Amino acid sequence: MAEAESHHTLDLPVFESAPKVLIVAAPYYRDIAEGLLAGARTMLERAGALHETVAVPGALEIPSAIAIAHRHAQFDGYVALGCVIRGETTHYDTVCNDSSRGLMLLGLQGAAIGNGILTVENRAQALVRADPTGGDKGGGAAAAALHLIALFRRYALSRKGIGFRPGGGTRLAGEPDGGETA
């Protein structure tokens, strides 16, 4: 069992200004979601982060909700919380794969997301992982989001001089300016 394994966890990052985090939770299994939420909120508060929570119907809606907030709101990061328990059909595989893929794509586009969507074989596994005094996967997802926010803040301040910036007014030698024709 996983409880016997040991693993290293990073110290929480320290922030000069409090990050603002959106927790997106799918309370399809309400008791499991409540455990995940408790762990996430405790971790965010421990790091001095501001947070708010929204609920969506299920795990498949979590990436869409984060995408909406990422485009239209001012959050530094996101915590995705939910649970998918294997059933008798292949719907489990679809929900697991598509919710995970959606979060990964958003992350690759610059959203700092901690993935706390449990994918388990049964309710007992979910309860152990969701328990803030047990597996604390909600707290782990919040910590992951905080680490990504810290990484973004670290590198957002040091822009490299490569690529192009539109509207900069700089032209290359021999390039016509706005008044010349090519």
The domains of the chain, with CATH numbers, are: 19-156 (3.40.50.960)
Which residue type, as a one-letter code, is found at position 35?
G
- pLDDT category at 182 given cuts 50, 70, 90 is very low
Residue in 117, 134, 123, 147 with CA at minimum distance from that of residue 49: 147
| Dihedral (Cα; 92, 86, 101, 69), 10-degree rounding | 90
pLDDT over 60 at 2, yes or no: no
Cross-strand partners of 80: 24, 115
Cα Rg for the chain, rounded, in angstroms? 20
Catalytic residue among 8, 51, 70, 91: 91
Residue in 153, 149, 116 with CA at minimum distance from that of residue 41: 116
- State pTM to two decimals: 0.84
- pLDDT category at 6 given cuts 50, 70, 90 is confident
pLDDT over 80 at 163, yes or no: no
Mean pLDDT computed over 96-106: 98
Per-residue model confidence as pLDDT tens digits over 32-49 = 999 999 999 999 999 999
* Joined tokens for residue 149: 């926010």
Contacts of residue 119, Cβ cutoff 8 Å, sequence gap at least 6:
84, 92, 96, 100
Burial class (CB in 10 A: 0-12, 13-18, 19+), 118: buried
Cα separation, 3 vs 38, in Å, equals: 20
What percentage of the chain exceeds 90 in pLDDT?
81
Residue in 138, 150, 159, 166 with CA at minimum distance from that of residue 82: 138
- Active-site annotation holds for 8: no
Q: What is the pLDDT of residue 21?
A: 98
Q: What is the pLDDT of residue 158?
A: 64
